[in-house]
Structure formats: C-alpha cells, structure tokens
C-alpha cells in the first residue's frame, strides 16, 4: 500500500500533528509520499520540521512550464477525464470566495500531482483540511488519479462549508475524517445522508513517549500558559482583561503567551491598556522542547478560543499532566471535564475566564496535580497517535480494496 499525503503548506509550526501522523503510519510500514503546494523554510525552527521539509515534494517548485505541460498532456491524452475535472473546477470555483480562476490553478496543480502519483505508484491520496488541498485531491481523482480521503479539522471549514463545496468533496471521497464527534456532527450537516457512514472519527494524536512522567507542580503562585497562533479565533485578546479582573479578585498569578501571529500588536496593546505588563510574558514561537519546558514550569494551560476543532495544545498540556482552562466550544468538552481535568467557561466572557483563573489560583497544588493526572490518563487513552494511525491505515486499506 502506497499513500500520498496532500497539503497546502507543509511543514509549518502549526501542523506538527500531521508530521506525527505521517511518522506513525510509516512506523506501521506504510510508505507515505508528501506533496505540498508550498512551504516557507525560513519560518521553520523545529528540527523535525526541517527534516520533514527535505522529504516533501513542493508542487509549485516544479515551475509554471512543467505544471502547464502536465495540464496540456492530460487534456490531450484523457480529454473526457479532463473535461470532467474542468467542469468540477468551474463548479467549485463558482461557489468559492476564491473564484473560478483560483480553482483553475488547482486544476493545474492536480494535473501535476496526478502525473506524479502515477509515476510513484500511489494507490490513495489523503489531504488534510477541507480547503484547497481537498479540492486538488478531488480534481486528481476526476482526472483519473487515485481515490482520495481528507481530514477536516475546523473551525475554518465549518465557517464556509458551501463555499468550500464540502458536500461535493465528501460525496467524491472514499471516506472523510473528522477529528472529534463534534466535527463529525458538523460534516453531517453538509453531507448527504447516504454519505454519513463514510464520515469517520480519527483523533489527532500525541506520542506518549515524548511525555514521560509529568514534572511536579512548580512552587509559587499560579502560572498559566497559553500556546498557539495569535489569531482572532484563538481569543488571546481576552487574556489581558481576564488577568486584570482576576488580580482585582485577589488572585496571585502570572501568564506566559507562547506563539506569534497577526494579533500580536493588539495583544500587546491590551496588555498595556489593562496594566498587566508585570504579569504577562510573550516568548514568541518555541520548538517542541521549548514548549514542553514551558508546560513543565506552568500549573495549567489557558485557552480562551472563540472557535476550534479539537486543539492539539490541550492534548499536549494534558499529556504533560497539567489542568486546562478552556472555552465550552467545539471538541473541547470531549477532553476537558469540569472539576475533573480542568475548567470550561463560555467563549468571549472575560469575567467567567477571570473566575476560572481565580479558582485555579485558589486550588491547592496537590489538587492541581490530581487534575493533571486525570487529564493525562484521559488523553493517553483517547489520543495515542499509533492507535489512531492504525485506524487510519485500516481505512486506507479498505478504500484501496473497495
């Protein structure tokens, strides 16, 4: 069984979970060929991402001449399949915010990937995200290439399901993967009822070996950490206000923000506006070792997201034996159990977030340790990457055999 993975931008710091999935499949003996439209090597700092860059075939790096040549050869050698794919591209482009021209570019990319898949003997393509990578996979299939499947993470796909032609992509796929039960329910809204049985739940996973026995609770006042891209949906802009409110309630705490992104200037301005510069530290992006070190130095993770799929950072914090403060949205309640592994609060409510922070600050260290241990047991039982990859491998085999 030879599998191709198809992604838009890979590798990149925010999708290390895909790298883990690919490596787990390879440990099972499945050769995986990586296709990505592009990658920005300059932003890669993690050694694993740098090694993965060297193993990834970048489609756009082939150059316009070769890509257009592959399209022309496909049109001449398989005119019926080309016509079918062209109609699909125009149909999807008509629904999309990106428009038909962008989808014609996806068709060009698909012709190249179809040729390369044939040359490599790939039997199935799997895309991550229901966006342009899934569109290219569907077009490869229309051109006569291998069957495809794709994993939908959310929340972006759930924001614009019709514009992304999710229903058509699901209908054409051998199967579609949701990363949580919540995600499966959202995909079922846009899929035909007959396609529901082919929507599978396969969790993103962690590598338990990378999370040995958790570090003991650090001494001192409550130390919270937030890890992730600084973007609107992640809700970090709410944190300075919540920290200020928690301090006003008498909570003794500090906060470390790990990451970067377009919201950083606004977050820095909010830190100044709420007068919490002495309590909040921004580190920028850290590699995996740096993230583990920050988690070891923290008592709990705080994630004030407005929209999510099922956050990897929650899994990693729980595997590290840390309690979690998160919002009651999407897949979060499938992991975070109030009073047992952390706290859940309404999204967008700074006062509720501050209340959870104050409650965590008042929680004895041994109780925080017990919550962390409960979270660790839960995530290791549900999100072991080798078990989840085995589920995916079985689905690939079934798709090829079927």
Same domain membership, residue 180 and residue 97: yes
Structure tokens, 161: 């399901």
Question: Helix (H, G, I), strand (E, B), or coil: what is residue 129?
Answer: coil
| Average of per-residue pLDDT across 194-210 | 95
Asked if pLDDT for residue 133 goes beyond 90, the answer is yes
pLDDT of residue 289: 86
Region 162-190 average pLDDT = 97
What average pLDDT score do residues 97-111 get? Answer: 97
Non-local (6+) Cβ contacts of 326 within 8 A are 301, 302, 303, 304, 305, 311, 314, 332, 336, 342, 343, 344, 345
Of the candidate ranges 15-19, 107-111, 147-151, 249-253, the one whose mean pLDDT is the lowest: 15-19
Summarize the confidence of residues 319-328 as an average pLDDT: 97
Structure tokens given for 127: 């895309």
Structure tokens at 251: 């909570």
Is residue 229 located within the same domain as residue 188?
Answer: no
- pTM of the full structure: 0.91
Residue 171 binned pLDDT confidence (cut-offs 50, 70, 90)? very high
pLDDT at 131: 96
Instruction: State the average pLDDT over residues 377-381.
Output: 96
Asked if 238 and 267 sit in the same domain, the reply is yes
**Is the domain of 201 the same as that of 237?**
no
Query: For residues 253 and 383, what is the distance between their CA atoms, to the nearest angstrom?
Result: 30
Dihedral, 36, 39, 44, 50 alpha carbons, nearest 10: 50
C-alpha to C-alpha distance for 261 and 241, rounded to whole angstroms: 19
State whether 127 and 149 are in the same domain: yes
Q: Work out the average pLDDT over 159-188.
A: 97
Say what angle helices 350-362 and 239-248 make with each other, to 10 degrees. Answer: 50
Mean predicted confidence (pLDDT) in 50-57: 96
As a whole-number percent, the residues of the chain with pLDDT over 90 amount to: 92
> How confident is the model at residue 45, as a pLDDT?
81
Average pLDDT in the 225-232 region? 95
Q: Helix or strand or coil: residue 267?
A: helix
Residues 252 and 222: beta-carbon distance below 8 Å? yes
Residue 402, pLDDT above cutoff 90: no
Q: Which stretch of DSSP H or E encloses residue 300?
A: strand 300-303
Residue-level pLDDT at 275: 98
The fraction of the chain above a pLDDT of 70, given in percent, is 100
- Report the CATH number at residue 110: 3.40.50.2000
Q: Which domain holds residue 118?
A: 3-205+384-401
- What is the model's pLDDT at position 285? 87
Same domain, residue pair 198 and 216:
no
Q: Are residues 392 and 336 in the same domain?
A: no
Indicate whether 73 pLDDT > 90: yes
Does the pLDDT value for residue 212 go beyond 90?
no
Write out the DSSP string of 301-358: EEE--SS-SS-HHHHHHHHTT-EEEEES-TTGGGT--BTTTEEEE-TT-HHHHHHHHH
Asked if pLDDT for residue 302 goes beyond 90, the answer is yes
Quote the pLDDT of residue 52. 96
Average pLDDT, the chain: 96
Counting the structural domains of the chain, the total is 2
CA quadruple 288, 290, 295, 298: dihedral, nearest 10 = -170
Residues 219 and 168 placed together within one structural domain of the fold: no
Confidence of residue 288 (pLDDT cuts 50, 70, 90): confident
pLDDT of residue 13: 80
Question: What is the predicted pLDDT for the residue at 49?
Answer: 92
Same domain, 170 and 229: no
Is the domain of 362 the same as that of 390? no
pLDDT of residue 40: 87
pLDDT of residue 287: 82
Q: Are residues 252 and 267 in the same domain?
A: yes
Angstrom distance (rounded) from CA 57 to CA 41: 13
Q: What is the mean pLDDT of residues 31-51?
A: 92
Region 148-162: mean pLDDT is 94
The reported pLDDT for the residue numbered 42 is: 86
257 Cβ contact list (under 8 Å, min separation 6):
225, 226, 230, 236, 239, 267, 280, 281, 282, 283
Report the C-alpha gap between 139 and 145 in whole angstroms: 8
Residue 179 and residue 229 share a domain: no
Does residue 203 carry a pLDDT above 90?
yes
Q: How many CA atoms lie within 13 A of 346 on its CB side?
A: 5
């Amino acid at each position: 069984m030879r599998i191709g993975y198809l992604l838009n931008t890979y590798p990149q710091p925010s999708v290390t979970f895909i790298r883990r999935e690919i490596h787990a499949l390879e440990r099972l003996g499945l050769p995986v060929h990586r296709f990505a439209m592009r990658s920005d090597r300059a932003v890669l700092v993690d050694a694993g991402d740098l090694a993965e860059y060297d193993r990834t075939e970048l489609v756009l790096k082939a150059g316009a001449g070769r890509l257009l040549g592959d399209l022309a050869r496909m049109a001449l050698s398989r005119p019926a399949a080309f016509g079918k794919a062209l109609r699909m591209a125009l149909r999807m482009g008509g629904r999309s915010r990106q428009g038909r021209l962008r989808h014609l570019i996806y068709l060009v990319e698909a012709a190249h990937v179809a040729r390369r898949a044939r040359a490599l003997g790939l039997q199935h393509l799997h895309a991550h995200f229901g966006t342009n990578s899934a569109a290219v996979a569907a077009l490869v299939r229309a051109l006569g290439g291998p069957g495809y499947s794709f994993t939908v993470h959310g929340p972006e796909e759930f924001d614009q399901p019709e514009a992304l032609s999710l229903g058509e992509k699901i209908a054409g796929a051998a199967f579609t993967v949701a990363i949580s039960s919540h995600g499966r329910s959202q995909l079922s809204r846009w899929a035909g009822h007959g396609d529901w049985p082919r929507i599978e739940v396969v969790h993103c996973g962690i590598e338990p070996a990378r999370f040995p026995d958790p570090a003991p609770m650090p001494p001192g006042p409550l130390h919270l950490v937030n890890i992730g891209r600084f973007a609107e949906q992640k809700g970090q802009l709410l944190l300075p206000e919540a920290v200020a409110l928690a301090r006003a309630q008498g909570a003794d705490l500090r906060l470390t923000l790990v990451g970067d992104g377009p919201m950083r200037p606004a977050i820095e301005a909010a830190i100044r506006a709420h007068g919490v510069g002495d309590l909040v530290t921004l580190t920028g992006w850290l590699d995996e070792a740096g993230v583990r070190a920050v988690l070891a130095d923290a008592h709990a993770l705080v994630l004030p997201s407005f929209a999510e799929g099922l956050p990897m950072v929650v899994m990693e914090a729980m595997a590290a034996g840390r309690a979690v403060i998160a919002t009651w949205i999407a897949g979060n309640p499938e992991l975070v159990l109030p009073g047992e592994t952390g706290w859940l609060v309404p999204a967008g409510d700074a006062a509720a977030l501050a209340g959870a922070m104050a409650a965590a600050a008042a929680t004895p260290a041994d109780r925080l340790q017990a919550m962390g241990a409960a979270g660790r047991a839960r995530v290791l039982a549900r999100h072991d990457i080798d078990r989840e990859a085995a589920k995916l491998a079985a689905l690939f085999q079934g798709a090829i055999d079927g």
